Amino acid sequence: MINSNHTTPSSLHSSFPSPHVVSLVPLFDHLHSLELLLALSVFVVLHSLRQRKLHGLPVWPLLGMAPSLVSGLRGDMYEYISEVICRQNGTFRFKGPWFTNLNCVVTSDPRNLEHLLKTRFPNFPKGPYFRDTVRDLLGDGIFNADDETWQRQRKTASIEFHSARFRQLTVDSLFELMHSRLLPVLEESVRSFSSLDLQDVLLRLTFDNVCMIAFGADPGCLRPGLPEIPFARAFEDATEATVLRFVTPTCIWKAMRYLEVGPERTLRRCIKGVDEFAEQVIRTRKKELALDSEGGKKKSDILTVFMGLRDDGGRPYSDKFLRDICVNFILAGRDTSSVALSWFFWLLHKNPAVEERIVEEINRVVRERTNGSDGGEDEELVFRPGEIKRMEYLQAAISESLRLYPSVPIDHKEVVEDDVFPDGTVLKKGTKVLYVMYAMGRMEAIWGKDCREFRPERWLRDGRFLSESAYKFAAFNGGPRLCLGKDFAYYQMKFAAASILYRYKVEVVEGHPVVPKLALTMYMKHGLRVRLSRRHGPKTLI
Ligand code: HEM
């Protein structure tokens, strides 16, 4: 039983093994095996824990690149991703923890965006992962639809968005909200010498506005006293709870949904709130249409338009589908313009020379209306669509603001069949692709050395606004899924900005922290606390 290959302590003392020693030998043998096993295990664990690097980022076994992402989260996440993308010349592969769905290719290369959004559009749908994650809130609405369901909605909505009726609705609804609601709120803050959260009032403005366009109903968020509207709150909370699903392993949020616990419980409650509001609006509209001899021909909100249509089987759309359509339009237009305007006002605060040029342009347009006389104190002044169109420097400044702070900072697609990006990145079927608009605005390769500067002049040629390729400036997406509300959004933002800047100087309260919130839309995490002062003496200019 003596293992001649091993020198045990007992064998050193005696060449004759004592019974005691003999009995210990198997134990030592056994210990050796354990040691070996232990050493081997430690080696395997250490070896596996050893970090590999991919695209300059450490990759941890089981956890992938998540730890470096978490360290990025301590600072500004968007800046962190931008840094990595710039270091990797526009594209990198992110490996998430094994238990999540976070493996993806991340890109900000305009060539890849063109490939993804236009050239190979059918190969990059939203995909089953996205649809499954947001289905409870968005149903089969335009944002969450691919293929024919998407095409049908896109076609109908596109015709409507370009109709004269719809344009008139946007002009009328915005005029009403701006002059009867928003400006009185701003005026009150001047009168009472108090500061206000500009992002909050702008969010209220665009929420009311998009509900008027989608439902033909005004929820009243901007009413005096700025009341909390249950539908608006339910909508916001439901969106936040849905976003949480993207960073939660699918099996976990599905289990929580089944058990009705945690954020899934909130989500269910909020979706119920959204549904109740939508059902009530749909019921009321149906009654109105039944009583209307013209069958709603004068109305041009999205709900009425879709109510007049038939599905492939010649049947009217179900109430559930009508609900989905409206909820998606509200999501699309609810806060994209208002957060863009918040960043715009903040950038003006940091760049007073740009603000001065915008105010000069607005005053020039007003003077042109009044044949050269100073119309700068017209209390009732309402900008006309033609005048808004002529404000090209304002358009450049808003575009520049969206370049640096795109309302949708990151978007998502899924690969149907194996593919290769123009930059050579190989994409396997099922790969998720994230394209990062925020990083694009910070890439010297796209915008030059001054890419981080706020310089509206980069959008002007001979004083005229010149738009950029949708794959270089992708704030509104591009290709067949280009934002349907782009023209409306520019009109809305320019009208709001001009109406405010013509009357007030907007100053951000000193020390107010301005940082982006990590969400699907680029909100300011702490809002934008500002103080307003009148530009034209003490008169009330509404
Ligand atoms: C600054 C304002 C806005 C920005 C930056 C913006 C940006 C975008 C982006 C990036 C998308 C693509 C989203 C995706 O497919 O994942 C999109 C789609 C869309 N947007 Fe906008 N949007 C704005 C305002 C609006 C407004 C005011 C409306 C309508 C009232 C609107 C309606 C839509 C619709 C319907 C889609 C879906 C298009 C489709 O999938 O075919 N948007 N928008």
516-532 tens-digit pLDDT: 987 789 999 999 999 99
Q: What is the ipTM of this complex?
A: 0.98
125-143 tens-digit pLDDT: 999 999 999 999 999 999 9
Measured in Å, residue 115 CA sits from the centre of ligand 1 at 20
Q: Which atom of ligand 1 is nearest to the CA of 481?
A: 41
For residue 317, what is the DSSP state? P
Identify the bridge partners of residue 196 per DSSP, sorted by sequence position: 530
**Averaged pLDDT score across all residues of the chain:** 86
Mean pLDDT for the stretch of residues 360-366:
96
Residue 297 is predicted with a pLDDT of 62
- Whose Cα sits closest to atom 32 in ligand 1? 485
Residues in contact with ligand 1 (CB, 6 Å cut-off) = 142-143, 154, 210, 213, 329, 332-333, 336-337, 340, 407-408, 411, 475-477, 481, 483-485, 488-489
Question: Which of 154, 166, 483 is the best mutation target for the ligand 1 pocket, counting ligand atoms within 8 Å of the beta carbon and taking the most?
Answer: 483
More confident residue, 307 or 501: 501
Mean pLDDT for the stretch of residues 306-314:
84
Residue 28 is predicted with a pLDDT of 42
Question: What values do phi and psi take at 417, rounded to 5?
Answer: -120, 150
28-64 tens-digit pLDDT: 444 456 566 666 555 555 555 555 666 666 666 666 6
Whether residue 56 contacts residue 74, with contact meaning beta carbons closer than 8 Å, is answered with no
Q: pLDDT-derived band of residue 292, with 50, 70 and 90 as boundaries?
A: confident
Measured in Å, residue 112 CA sits from the centre of ligand 1 at 20
The pTM of this model reads: 0.86
Mean pLDDT for the stretch of residues 186-196:
95
- Whose Cα sits closest to atom 9 in ligand 1? 476
Tell me which long-range contacts 110-113 makes (C-beta under 8 A, separation of at least 24): 110/440, 110/446, 110/469, 110/471, 110/472, 110/474, 111/421, 111/422, 111/423, 111/471, 112/421, 112/422, 112/423, 112/425, 112/435, 113/435, 113/471, 113/474, 113/478
- Whose Cα sits closest to atom 16 in ligand 1? 411
Measured in Å, residue 165 CA sits from the centre of ligand 1 at 20
Measured in Å, residue 302 CA sits from the centre of ligand 1 at 15
Question: What values do phi and psi take at 508, rounded to 5?
Answer: -70, 135
Residue 74 is predicted with a pLDDT of 59
- Whose Cα sits closest to atom 35 in ligand 1? 484
411-467 tens-digit pLDDT: 999 999 999 999 999 999 999 999 999 999 999 999 999 999 999 999 999 999 999
Measured in Å, residue 119 CA sits from the centre of ligand 1 at 20
Tell me which long-range contacts 161-170 makes (C-beta under 8 A, separation of at least 24): 161/484, 161/485, 161/487, 161/488, 163/300, 165/300, 166/213, 166/300, 167/385, 168/300, 169/212, 169/213, 169/300, 169/301, 170/213, 170/488, 170/491, 170/492
